[in-house]
Amino acid sequence: MQNAVYAVSEIALQLKQKLETTFPLIWIRGEVSGVKEMNSGHMYFTLKDAHAQLSCAWFAAHRRSNYNLTTGEVYPRVTREIMEKGGEFICCGRLSFYPQRGTCQLVVENVVCSGAGALAQAFEARKQELAERGFFDPKRKRPIPRNPSRIALITSEQGAAIRDFLKISANRGLSSEIRLFPTLVQGKEAARAIAQALQLACAQNWAEVIVLIRGGGSLEDLWCFNEQEVADAVFQATIPVLAGIGHEIDFTLADLTADLRAATPTHAAELLWQPRSEMLRELAAQQTRLLLACDNLLATLTARLRHEERALALASPRHKLQILEERLALCVHTFQTRCKDFLQSREQSLLELTGRLRRRLPPEKIDRMLAQVEMLAERLPLLVQTQLAAKSSSIERFEEKLLLHGQHNLSLRWAKLEKLTAQLEGASPLVLLERGYALVESLDGALLRSVAAAGSGQMIRLQLADGSLLAEIRSVEARKSSSSAKEAGAF
C-alpha cells in the first residue's frame, strides 16, 4: 500500500492545530537569553535548559498586565532589565506553530521569576496583615535626623552595599562615626540575624539613627527582609530606622515599616548627610549675613552718635554763652548809640535854650543858671558811671549763673554720651564673645535659646571669639522661674 503524500502546508496546518489544541495554556520553566525589545513594545527571547531551547514572543498587550486571568495570581512586574540579567524564569502562554517559517513559538502572556508566584502571594498577604496592625501608619513614622554624628549600620560586611554607602558618606557630613553591626542579608538564617542586629543596636542606645541596607537581587534574595521577624524588629526599634534595600524598584516589608525608605544604599547616605561643599557654602553665607548685620548695627549706632553729638553741640553752654555774648555786645552798642544821641540832642536843646535865655534873661541870672548847669554836668558823669557799674555787676552775676547752668548741662550730656557709648560697645557681638560669652548652636546651625530645645547626648557647637568648640550635652537642667518659686513657697 502506497503511503499518502501530504503537501507542506497541509502537514504544517495539522501540526498547528494539534499543537494549539493540545497545549492551550502551558507553564514552562527555563533560563532566559537573547532578550530583544522592539520599539513597538514587543519582546522576543529564548527560553532554554541544558538540552533544548524554545523561541518566545511577549507582545506589548500582554506585557502591560501582571495579572493571570486563569489563576488569579498577581506577580511583580518583570522588566527587560531584570530579564537581561539572566536566571531562571517561568513563562505562561500558548504554544503556536508558524507555517510560513516552519517554527514553533511560545506566545507569552505572563513572565515571573522562578517561584515568584507563591512569594508574591505571601508578600501581599503579609503586607495586608501588617498594614492592618499599623506597621505602615505614617503617624508613627519618626523623622530621620539630618547630619547625624552616630550611625548604626546594619548590613553584610562583605557586600557592595557597605562600600557604596561608605564611599558616599566620605564626602558628606562632619565628624560622623559609623558603627557596623554585621549580619547576613540572604538565606534562611538572615532574618533572625537581621532582627538580632536591630535589637542589639537599640539596646546599646548609642546611635542617632539605624541604617539597614542591602544591594539589589531577586525576590528570593531579598525575601529575608519580608519576614515577620524582621518587620517586628523594625517596628519595635526605639531608634529611627532608615532602610535602603535593593534597587529603586524593589520594595520590602522592612522598607515599608521603616521610618524612611531610601531607593538604594547610596541614596540612604545622601538622605543622611549634606555635601560638605554645600555646608561650607551655607556657613560662608551665614558668616556674610552676620558680618553684614554687624556692619548695619554699627552704622546705625554711629549715625545715632553723630546726631547726638550735633544735638549736644547745639545745646552746649558754650554755644548758649556765645549767643548771649553777642546779644550783650549788641545791647551795649545800642545803649552807647542811644546815650550819644540822647546827649547830643540834649546839648542841642541846651544851646537853643541858652540862646533863648540870653535873649530873655539878664546876664546875672544866666550866669547863675550856667553855674547850675556846670554843676549838673559835673555830677552827670558820676551818675552815669554809677549806673554802668550797677549794670556791669548785674551782667557779671548773670554770666556766673549762665556758666554754672552750662557746666551742669554739659555734665549731663557727657554722662548720656558715655551711657550710649557703653550700650554701643555692649551691643557688639564681638565684644560679647571677647568677654567670655559664646553662641550655642546645634549641628544644623540653629541657635539654642532655651534648654527646652536641647537634649541629653546632643552634640552642640560653641562659637567663641577666636574659634569654635564641639561639645556634647551631658545633662539638661532647667532654671525655675520666679513665679514657680513663689508657688513652691506657698505650699
- Global pTM reads 0.42
Task: Give tens-digit pLDDT for 29-60.
Answer: 888 888 898 998 899 998 888 788 899 999 98
| Structure-block grid coordinates of residue 158 | 562583605
Question: How far is it, in rounded angstroms, from Cα 273 to Cα 266?
Answer: 11
- The DSSP symbol for 489 reads H
Question: How far is it, in rounded angstroms, from Cα 305 to Cα 421?
Answer: 8
Q: 94 - beta bridge partners?
A: 107
- Of all residues in the chain, what percent carry a pLDDT higher than 70? 89
Q: Where are the alpha helices (DSSP H) in 264-362?
A: 265-272, 276-314, 317-360
Handedness of CA 204, 215, 161, 141 (dihedral sign): negative
Higher pLDDT among residues 72 and 465, named by residue:
465
> How far from the centroid of its chain's Cα atoms is residue 7's Cα?
81
CATH architecture of 134-274: 3-Layer(aba) Sandwich (3.40)
Q: Is it true that domain 8-114 has CATH number 3.40.50.300? A: no
pLDDT reported for residue 50: 78
Task: Give tens-digit pLDDT for 152-174.
Answer: 999 998 888 888 888 888 878 77
Long-range contacts of 381-384, Cβ-Cβ distance < 8 Å, separation of 24 or more:
384/339
Q: Compute the mean pLDDT over every residue in the chain, rounded to the nearest whole number.
A: 82
Check whether 1 has a pLDDT greater than 70. Answer: no
pLDDT reported for residue 75: 63
Q: Which amino acid is at 151?
A: I
Cβ partners under 8 Å of residue 252, min gap 6:
222, 225, 226, 243, 245, 246
Count the Cβ atoms, other than its own, within 10 Å of residue 408: 11
Task: Give tens-digit pLDDT for 332-358.
Answer: 888 888 888 888 888 888 888 877 767
- Of all residues in the chain, what percent carry a pLDDT higher than 90? 17
Question: How far is it, in rounded angstroms, from Cα 169 to Cα 211?
Answer: 12
> Residue 419, exposed/middle/buried by CB under 10 A (0-12, 13-18, 19+)?
exposed
